Structure 1
Amino acid sequence: METFNEYIAFLGPMGALLFVGFIGVVMALMVLPRLLHREKDPLDRLRKSQEDQASETDAEVKLSRHGQRNKKLERFAHLLEPQDAEQLSETRKMLIRAGYRDRDAVRTLQAAQLILGIGLLIVGVFYVVVLGSEMSLTKVIMAVMIPGGVGYYGPKYWVQKRVAARQDAIMSGFPDALDLLLVCVEAGQSLDQSIIRVSEEIEASYPDLAEELSMVAHEMKAGKDKPSVLKEFADRCDVADISSFVTVLIQSAAFGTSIAEALRVYAAEMRDKRVMRAEEKANVLPTKLTVGTMMFCVPPLLIILIGPSLFGISQSLGGGGGGF
């Protein structure tokens, strides 16, 4: 490191910035040939012709559940989509669980990561240029790399937080939806009709769960296999209660038992679990308040109680010393 610092010092006050810029240029030159000489897919021409035919009429666009492709993102598809099929599938699944079902959701996420990463990296470089003469090499690297890392991983972190918030909303509304579903089934409606009615009733209170139930109902009406539709519903939500509910429905249909009876038992269990969750949060609350109490209540209380005594002692010692 001493030799390396000597070389940096030999380059002058802007040596650290020149070194970081040199590394960036080398990395860009290493990636540029691969981007320019990318092998063409033999199916690109066929895919392009099919997309042109699909965009000729508005009717075909309306039939698409996810809408039309973004032509601006289509040109950079090789850069904005993971080349690994497993990684692409995991990213798309994460976005679907977050509520983003658009066909270009993966490309939009990757574009946001690249734009924010490069943009904040440029901001870091500009900050180093302004204050580079007063910063050490370690601070220069941190000032450049940390904003770039935050910009690149920030959108993905935000999507993950959105997934967690959506799962909490679905979990909160599922017991009420299950009670309504039980009422509809016992009233004589089929499971498909009951799901449609429940999705309409809870849309104002729990829009995320209503959207998922509406999708399940439409897939069943389209003739898709019911067990596969329910399994996809559980996979999209990724909530333990819904996975158990789907298992109950599938087993009830497989063994020929009454769906209403299975729903009645499971709805009672979900109500008990909701009460248990509320009690758990209530029991954890005093522990969480302890830290705040110790930080914000105990010090002022000590000042109020001990402060006058300490002031009186100091005054008496000061007065006694002066009289002596």
Structure 2
Amino acid sequence: MMMNRNEPCWCGSGLKYKKCHLSFDERLITLRDKGYIVPTRDLIKTKEQIQGIRESAKINNGLLDLISVSIKEGMTTQEIDDIAYNYTVSNGGIPATLNYDGFPKSICTSINNVVCHGIPSKDVILKSGDIINVDATTILNGYYSDASRMFMIGDVTDEAKKLVEVTKECLEKGLQAVKPWGFLGDVGAAIQEYAEGNGYSVVRDFGGHGVGLDIHEEPYVAHYGKRGTDMILVPGMVFTIEPMINAGSYELFIDPSDGWTALTKDGSLSAQWEHTILVTDDGIEIIAK
């Protein structure tokens, strides 16, 4: 991990190692030697890479903003997918999910009891009372950004509205738990405590993930867990926080007819919000939202 003190730093800053990441690496080595899980160097993004992720996120954020003002009762989820494809491509990006491991569409549209990975379709029409998560991931010049938002269609029940609101608050609790040189486990613990305190459950089969140079990178970000555990978070790490919160049990199943759509096992409602964040020297920067 260590370099010659006078060599150019591995991060590409152009500074000598001793003036840049030497003390950073020494701190990581000390923590590793004490038995803590520390990130490998490939999980720490350079300034150039971070800027590339930010540029990708401009498209991803713009897309979700456009969907926010376009989504409505009577629209098919295929129409939302068409908006996503056209906007992303016209702005020079690539929809990352399109043909990813065989996924056939440009976004995920997950309605009511669908936890995640819902596939847009011309046969699925939004109706009053639906809650829907739209999950978008964009590639620009090889850099990835990822975010999702919930939308409430027409008149939703108080039960559904509360779930959407508490899920967003769970995301905020997770964001607040991210501290440079803190623990990744603090994020999951904060989300789990808040969700369960409101009578909900946290999905365990899916979580957040590193992102930026690929659609899914390390670390895996569990949305449940114990404080003071898991990987040490350090400046330069980029990952998603995307809690999936169920009104009933956290158990789910994958629709065998398409191999993608995840649904709550008990048929209860599910909601999700997602941001891509950067760990900074004094906190976080929300890149995609």
Whose Rg is larger? 1
- Which interval holds the TM-score relative to the shorter structure? under 0.3
More strand by share: 2
Normalised to the residue count of structure 1, the TM-score between the two structures is: 0.23
Query: Could you tell me the TM-score, scaled by structure 2's length?
Result: 0.25
